[in-house]
Chains A and B, each alone.
Chain A
Amino acid sequence: MSVKEYIRERYFPHMWCPGCGHGTILNSLLHAVDQLQLDKKDLVMTSGIGCSARISGYVDFHSLHTIHGRALAFATGVKLSKPELKLIVPMGDGDALAIGGNHFIHAARRNIDITAIVMNNRIYGMTGGQFSPLSGAGKKATTAPYSTIDSAFDVVKLATAAGASFVARSTAYHVLETIDILKKAINHKGFSVVEILSQCPTHYGRKNKEGNASQMLKFQKDTTAKIGSKALEKNPLLIPRGIFVDNDVPEYCQAYDEVIERAMKGRKA
């Protein structure tokens, strides 16, 4: 099937700015879904609010565009009530880890079979460039004219500590790696988190003098390295890419099926 089969063409062109990394991430996701030969009928995309959240309108899946920060809570209801569906939940960095932080760690703790994608452009784009919990210290934003003093979360460490059974990181630059990781994440039985570094030339790039889209993409290439690579060994300050966690642990919906079994037995006895 062509990736075109997975989109709602009549709603294009998309609303993202020229140079935004989110379109590339959508493209990678569609290729992953296509290569896995998934049936659109089985796919549900749930999103929150922000630039990233608009992604759910463009895919020809069952799509649920919800409220700010709560996409994973909605997705939990969808998944637990109909476990045969595949849930993909793309979120922005503010959406997933500021207002949605609580739902993020609890979905990870439950290990419910949902694929969470953090499209991390380190800024609130939709509202015009405020800093996010992933901006990090010393950055400029419309709400940090004197630079941020807030530290950033490390998504990989946070997700791992919270109990996610699959945790990975890629970038908008590393398209093929992203497709490969997303395929594994979607196939993983349990809560999977994929952080994808994305670029926002309109707000983050301009405020922090990181140049245009291609310069920001080059920055992703230059400042990251694969886990186990020589580059990373030489320079541990580089941001590692790849799969950090891939564990086989009991999945929530399956565990609940056992609860039902126990409850039904108890009743008969």
Chain B
Amino acid sequence: MTEKIKFVQGNEACVEGALYAGVDFFAGYPITPSTEIAEVLSKRLPEKGGKFIQMEDEIASMCAIIGASLTGHKVMTATSGPGFSLKQEALGYACMAEIPCVIVNVQRGGPSTGNPTHVSQGDINQARWGTHGDHSIIALTASNHQDVFAMTVDAFNLAETYRTPVVLLFDEAVGHMREKLIVPEAGEIARVDRLRTSLGKGVDYHPYLPREDGRLPMSDFGGDHRYNVTGLFHDMWGFPSNNPKVVSGLLHHLNDKIENNVHNITRYKEHFMDDAEYILISYGSSARSAIHIATNRRARGEKMGVLELQSLWPFPEAMIREKCANAKAVLVVEMNMGQVMRHVKAAVDRPENVFLVNRIDGKLITPTDIKSLLRVIQGRGV
């Protein structure tokens, strides 16, 4: 039992979650601040018969995990900003060809080389729109190691459920800090494994024909069914097509399968949210300061709560509108120039009551940063 309680870095908690979810193939390239994920998996994967490969670059890492997913494996890569930029074309390929995979981005300051060893949450919109063309994506995040673990398991489950890449948007502070992690017993958290076709040999299998429930059973490379996988628009056999009906049908399918399931994909936590008049919306390491201040204010009788987002894409617009319906003010606490704040403004009924508390200097947001803005909003001076 004691070995289930660990004192680890967030990056190691991510590894534990991935192993719990059943990862058996990882391809990566060294980059700060995500490197520990590759280092630990290079040791842990072969111990259980899995495969680890250090590729020649970030692009190749992304491509290799897609190839390995097609043979039926649970796959992951990990990177940070510059590497995440490089992976974008292949990430779009995984969206288009509907290949389950998990991409971890431990965020550092950007743009460009930026601030490699310092914290940031600047890649939220890149996760949504980094690759070209209309597509949809799932992105999850976490503020503590237990949730890093849980969200990583979830990422693998969602990737299999929706046949899509899932992005884990952690940040440098969560990735590198150490705290307690309790690894659940096997079976405590449900695992979604690959949905494979039940069609036997000789029966025409359509890799891109959704079932009634919208899911698409797969067939492993090396199995009985041979089919084509391509990044071109394709028909239900996977063969290229520029038939306008096929093109628009596929594009709608790729978007709808995720956007129409936003209620199933949305993950969040509420801290003191009952009757809250002042709501702090936050995620990742920023949420820790938000929770700290709300805890103190509640002790003083102030009606303040925190809505901690754990899924960022598809954006949980309806949930946020509902939770913020009676708020006097909504403060979005994040380490960027308002990437989530803009979406919150678009979601709520009174966008004029939405304010941004941010830091973009490579330092964590402190409770004092939040207090300063609260004083102004609550009319208690500057």
- Choose among B64, B70, B224 the residue that contacts A76 (Cβ–Cβ < 8 A): B64
Q: Is B67 on the interface with A (CB-CB < 8 A)?
A: yes
- Chain A residues whose C-beta falls within 8 Å of the C-beta of B55 in the assembled complex: 73, 76, 106
Q: Is B22 on the interface with A (CB-CB < 8 A)?
A: no
- Chain A residues whose C-beta falls within 8 Å of the C-beta of B184 in the assembled complex: none
* B47 x A266 contact (CB < 8 A): yes
* B229 x A64 contact (CB < 8 A): yes
Identify which of residues 302-332 in chain B touch chain A, using a CB-to-CB cut-off of 8 Å: none
- Least Cβ distance of A15 to chain B in Å? 9
- Chain A residues whose C-beta falls within 8 Å of the C-beta of B43 in the assembled complex: 263
- Chain B residues whose C-beta falls within 8 Å of the C-beta of A267 in the assembled complex: 47
* A73 x B60 contact (CB < 8 A): yes
Q: Is A42 on the interface with B (CB-CB < 8 A)?
A: yes
* B25 x A77 contact (CB < 8 A): yes
Which residue on chain B has the smallest CB distance to residue A64?
Answer: B229
* B67 x A76 contact (CB < 8 A): yes
Q: Is B231 on the interface with A (CB-CB < 8 A)?
A: yes
* B90 x A78 contact (CB < 8 A): no
When chains A and B are docked, how far (Å) is the Cα of A56 from the Cα of B97?
15
When chains A and B are docked, how far (Å) is the Cα of A63 from the Cα of B227?
6
* B49 x A260 contact (CB < 8 A): yes
* A81 x B240 contact (CB < 8 A): no
With contacts A42-B222, A76-B55, A263-B46 known, is A81 near B68, CB below 8 A? yes
- Chain B residues whose C-beta falls within 8 Å of the C-beta of A264 in the assembled complex: 46-47, 49
Which residue on chain B has the smallest CB distance to residue A103?
Answer: B60
- Choose among B46, B53, B226 the residue that contacts A62 (Cβ–Cβ < 8 A): B226
When chains A and B are docked, how far (Å) is the Cα of A70 from the Cα of B61?
10
- Choose among B57, B68, B93, B228 the residue that contacts A63 (Cβ–Cβ < 8 A): B228
Identify which of residues 39-78 in chain A touch chain B, using a CB-to-CB cut-off of 8 Å: 40-42, 44, 46, 56-57, 60-67, 70, 73-78
Q: Is B89 on the interface with A (CB-CB < 8 A)?
A: yes
Which residue on chain B has the smallest CB distance to residue A68?
Answer: B89
- Chain B residues whose C-beta falls within 8 Å of the C-beta of A84 in the assembled complex: 222
Which residue on chain A has the smallest CB distance to residue B65?
Answer: A77
When chains A and B are docked, how far (Å) is the Cα of A220 from the Cα of B64?
36
- Chain B residues whose C-beta falls within 8 Å of the C-beta of A74 in the assembled complex: 63-64, 66-67
- Choose among A56, A66, A260 the residue that contacts B63 (Cβ–Cβ < 8 A): A66
- Least Cβ distance of A7 to chain B in Å? 12
- Least Cβ distance of A175 to chain B in Å? 26
Can you list, as one digit per residue, whether each of B49-83 has a CB less than 8 Å from chain A (1) or not (0)? 10101011101110111111111110100000000
Q: Is B209 on the interface with A (CB-CB < 8 A)?
A: no
- Least Cβ distance of A195 to chain B in Å? 21
Identify which of residues 186-233 in chain B touch chain A, using a CB-to-CB cut-off of 8 Å: 220-224, 226-232
* B63 x A65 contact (CB < 8 A): no
Which residue on chain A has the smallest CB distance to residue B220?
Answer: A82
- Choose among A57, A73, A79, A263 the residue that contacts B59 (Cβ–Cβ < 8 A): A73
Identify which of residues 221-267 in chain B touch chain A, using a CB-to-CB cut-off of 8 Å: 221-224, 226-232, 239-240
- Least Cβ distance of B88 to chain A in Å? 11
* A256 x B93 contact (CB < 8 A): no
Q: Is A146 on the interface with B (CB-CB < 8 A)?
A: no
* B222 x A85 contact (CB < 8 A): yes
- Chain B residues whose C-beta falls within 8 Å of the C-beta of A67 in the assembled complex: 63, 89-90, 93, 231
With contacts A77-B68, A82-B71 known, is A63 near B229, CB below 8 A? yes
When chains A and B are docked, how far (Å) is the Cα of A261 from the Cα of B63?
26
Identify which of residues 81-127 in chain A touch chain B, using a CB-to-CB cut-off of 8 Å: 81-82, 84-85, 102-103, 106
- Least Cβ distance of B193 to chain A in Å? 16
When chains A and B are docked, how far (Å) is the Cα of A102 from the Cα of B27?
16
When chains A and B are docked, how far (Å) is the Cα of A77 from the Cα of B25?
9
* A81 x B51 contact (CB < 8 A): yes
* A81 x B228 contact (CB < 8 A): no
- Chain B residues whose C-beta falls within 8 Å of the C-beta of A79 in the assembled complex: 67
* A62 x B59 contact (CB < 8 A): no
- Chain B residues whose C-beta falls within 8 Å of the C-beta of A62 in the assembled complex: 70, 221-222, 226-227
Can you list, as one digit per residue, whether each of A253-268 has a CB less than 8 Å from chain B (1) or not (0)? 0001001101110110
- Choose among B66, B220, B228, B229 the residue that contacts A77 (Cβ–Cβ < 8 A): B66
* B228 x A56 contact (CB < 8 A): yes
